[in-house]
C-alpha cells in the first residue's frame, strides 16, 4: 500500500450536516490509516451554473467550515468551472471518493482516467441514514415549511 | 497559569456556520495553548422550551457535528433542562465562555459563582462579521425567502 494515500472528495457543503461528516469519514478510510483527505468545495459560480441558483452560504465560508473538521486535512475552493481534469492533475489523488448522488463527477473522473491514463481510482460511498436530515435540500425544505406555518 | 485549562462553551448549533467556529476558536484561546474546549449542545427539550419550537436538526446530530470540529475536544448533550449548576459542578471549567447574545447564560453563571463560590470565571466573546451569515436565524430567513420566491 502506498504511504499517505491522498483521497479526494468534493461537494457544495451549503448547510453542513451529519451526513456530510459521515461521507468524509468513509472517504478518508478508503486511503488507510495514514490517509490525507483533501476536499474540493464547489465555487459559488459552479453551484449557480449547475443548480440554477447560488448557495445560501458564500464559498469562502463553506470552505472554512469544511477545513475546520477533524477529518479534513485540506479544503480547497474549486475552480470556477469545477475543472476536474486540472484538479486531478494538480492534487494527484490515489482515490477519488464520490457520494451516492455524485454520478456526474463519477462519470467525468472515469472518462478522464480512460482518456488520460491518470493513476487514480473512483470509489462510491454509500448513503447514510436515508430517514435522517442528511441532505441540504431536505433541511432547506423543512426550514421553508416551518416558516410558511409561521407567516 | 493552570495547565490544561478547561473552557466551557454552549449553544444550539442548529445549522453550523462559520460564526460558530470563530466563536469556539476564540473561546478556546481564552484557556491558553493547552486548553481543552468542552461544548454543551442544548437538548431539543431545552431549545423547544426557550424558543417555542424544536430545532431543525435533532440533538444527537447537532452534538456529533460539533464534536467533529478540530477546535472541540468534547461535545456533550445538555441536560433536558440545561441545568448550568450541575454542568459546572460536573465539568469544573476554569472559564465559561459566552457568546455576544448569551446574556441569560452569562447572568446565570455569575449568579451561581456568587451564590456557590465556584472557581470559574465568565468571559464574553465578541460578535464576528455582523454583515455575514453568522446566525442560524439569518440563514433560516434567507432560505425561507428563497423558497417563497420559488413556490
Task: Say if the ipTM goes beyond 0.95.
Answer: no
pLDDT of B131 higher than 70: no
Backbone angles phi, psi at B52, to 5 degrees: 85, -5
Asked if B139's CB is within 8 angstroms of A144's CB, the reply is no
Cβ(A125)–Cβ(A100) below 8 Å: yes
Residue B8 cell numbers, joined = 466551557
Please state whether A84 falls in left (phi above 0), alpha (psi between -120 and 50) or beta.
alpha
What is each CA distance from B57 to A51, B4, B140, in whole angstroms? 24, 32, 12
Could B146 and A56 be called an inter-chain contact, meaning their C-beta atoms sit closer than 8 Å?
A: yes
- For B86-96, what is each residue's pLDDT tens digit? 999 999 999 99
Q: What is the pLDDT of residue B2?
A: 59
CB of B86 within 8 A of CB of B79? yes
Above 80 in pLDDT, residue A140?
Answer: no
pTM, entire model: 0.90
* pLDDT tens digit sequence for A27-59: 999 999 999 999 999 999 999 998 899 999 999
Check if the beta carbon of residue A69 is closer than 8 Å to that of residue A24: yes
Average pLDDT of chain A is 89
- Yes or no: say if A143 and B143 are a contact pair by the CB < 8 Å rule: yes
Q: Which of B70, B139, B144 sits opposite A144 (nearest CB)?
A: B144
pLDDT tens readout for residues B49-100: 988 999 999 999 999 999 999 999 999 999 887 789 999 999 999 999 999 8
- A positions 11-30 inside 8 Å of B (CB): 15-18, 21
Amino acid at each position: 500500500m502506498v504511504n499517505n494515500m491522498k483521497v479526494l472528495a468534493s461537494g457544495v457543503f451549503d448547510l453542513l450536516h451529519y451526513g456530510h461528516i459521515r461521507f468524509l469519514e468513509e472517504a478518508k478510510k478508503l486511503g488507510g490509516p495514514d490517509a490525507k483527505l483533501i476536499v474540493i468545495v464547489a465555487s459559488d459560480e459552479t453551484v449557480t451554473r449547475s443548480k440554477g441558483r447560488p448557495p445560501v452560504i458564500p464559498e469562502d465560508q463553506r470552505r472554512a467550515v469544511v477545513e475546520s473538521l477533524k477529518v479534513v486535512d485540506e479544503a480547497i475552493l474549486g475552480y470556477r468551472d469545477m475543472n476536474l481534469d486540472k484538479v486531478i492533475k494538480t492534487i494527484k489523488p490515489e482515490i477519488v471518493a464520490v457520494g451516492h448522488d455524485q454520478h456526474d463527477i463519477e462519470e467525468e473522473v472515469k472518462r478522464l482516467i480512460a482518456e488520460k491514463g491518470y493513476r487514480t481510482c473512483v470509489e462510491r460511498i454509500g448513503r447514510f441514514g436515508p430517514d435522517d436530515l442528511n441532505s441540504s435540500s431536505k433541511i432547506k425544505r423543512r426550514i421553508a415549511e416551518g416558516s410558511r406555518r409561521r407567516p
